[in-house]
């Protein structure tokens, strides 16, 4: 019987995950499909209940459901519990287990960007959504000593800080209001800058002005393309990384959880690149963008 894995989100139309996961199943000769389920919040509980039937291996969960799905699974892994967000579901019989593979995905991306340098200890995180939670958890676990979270709606950054109050009790984790002058003065004390907002996903805009970026920064954008922020940072002489490495490794970790096998990273990477060359740029399904040159991407 063909096994099924689904991506549950709203919207999910232009998913890069579909290309990557489908290619991995084909390559490994596993009889499984990866389906895109566009479900509104009100339809989420029914979708999760359906996963309990025998033909499902599991699921990915994306915007806007990563936090909402937490109480709907039977068990959470340490990473899902710590972040309060689930992006992958596996099965134990009829029971559902919630994982967060964005955490190991971000860690691989950070390690690659830092390279042989000493791991920095100070970071700025822009954004306070599900992606930012995975980033902050990963940075805390990595031993960062100071993390400042800026968000448009300050209360959301404050809830994030509160959420981590126990695990981050040994270090300084602060929420600050989104003012350019405050971001600039914090940047002067910081080595790592992470964009975990969706600013730059659909429009060629940057969350912060290029003039305040400095050459010694390491800048990681979770968005899977060369955003304005990354281009400005590269012009300032900073080292940069887009969301591709994180996307690949969160997907590979999920695939391994469903199949019990090592993920075919090269195959998945090639599938991502092919999808990107057709213009799909959204990390998963959210706010999917088709570049003007790539009308065929929806095919």
Q: Which residues bind ligand NAP (CB under 6 A)?
A: 63, 102, 105, 127-132, 151-153, 156, 196-199, 201, 222-224, 243, 246-247, 250, 282-283, 286
> Which of residues 97 and 132 has its CB atom nearest to ligand NAP in the complex?
132
Catalytic one among 3, 66, 118, 162? Answer: 66
Region of 123 please: left (phi>0), alpha (psi -120 to 50) or beta: beta
- 66 is an active site residue: yes
Residues ≥6 apart with Cβ < 8 Å to 230? 219, 221, 240, 241, 242
Tokens representing 136?
């902050």
CB of 110 to ligand NAP, least distance (A): 12
- What is each CA distance from 103 to 11, 88, 115, 159, 251, in whole angstroms? 23, 11, 18, 19, 11
CB of 103 to ligand NAP, least distance (A): 10
> Which of residues 84 and 243 has its CB atom nearest to ligand NAP in the complex?
243
- What residue number has its CB nearest to ligand NAP? 129
CA dihedral 140, 219, 225, 70 (to 10 degrees): 10
CB of 9 to ligand NAP, least distance (A): 10
Question: Closest Cα partner for 245 from 216, 227, 221, 228?
Answer: 221
CB of 106 to ligand NAP, least distance (A): 8
Active site residues: 66
């Amino acid at each position: 019987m063909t096994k099924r894995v689904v991506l549950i989100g709203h919207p999910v139309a232009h998913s890069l995950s579909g290309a990557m996961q489908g290619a991995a199943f084909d390559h490994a000769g596993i009889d499984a499909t990866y389906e895109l389920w566009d479900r509104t919040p009100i339809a989420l509980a029914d979708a999760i209940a359906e996963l309990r039937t025998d033909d499902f291996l599991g699921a990915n969960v994306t915007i806007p459901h990563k936090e909402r799905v937490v109480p709907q699974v039977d068990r959470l892994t340490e990473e899902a519990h710590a972040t309060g967000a689930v992006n992958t579901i596996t099965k134990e019989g009829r029971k559902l287990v919630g994982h967060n593979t964005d955490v190991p995905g971000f860690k691989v991306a950070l390690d690659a960007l830092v390279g042989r340098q000493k791991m920095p200890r100070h970071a700025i995180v822009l954004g306070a959504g599900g992606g930012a939670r995975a980033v902050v958890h990963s940075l805390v676990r990595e031993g960062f000593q100071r993390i400042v979270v800026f968000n448009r709606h300050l209360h959301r950054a404050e809830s994030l800080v509160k959420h981590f109050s126990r695990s981050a009790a040994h270090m300084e984790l602060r929420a600050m209001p989104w003012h350019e002058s405050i971001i600039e003065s914090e940047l002067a004390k910081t080595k790592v800058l992470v964009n975990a907002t969706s600013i730059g996903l659909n429009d060629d805009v940057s969350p912060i002005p290029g003039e305040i970026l400095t050459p010694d920064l390491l800048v990681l954008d979770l968005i899977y393309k060369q955003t304005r922020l990354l281009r400005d940072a590269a012009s300032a002489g900073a080292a940069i990384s887009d969301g591709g490495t994180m996307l690949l490794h969160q997907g590979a970790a999920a695939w391994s959880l469903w199949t019990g096998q090592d993920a075919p990273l090269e195959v998945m990477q090639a599938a991502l690149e092919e999808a990107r060359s057709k213009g799909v740029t959204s990390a998963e399904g959210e706010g999917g963008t088709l570049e003007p040159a790539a009308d065929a991407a929806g095919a």
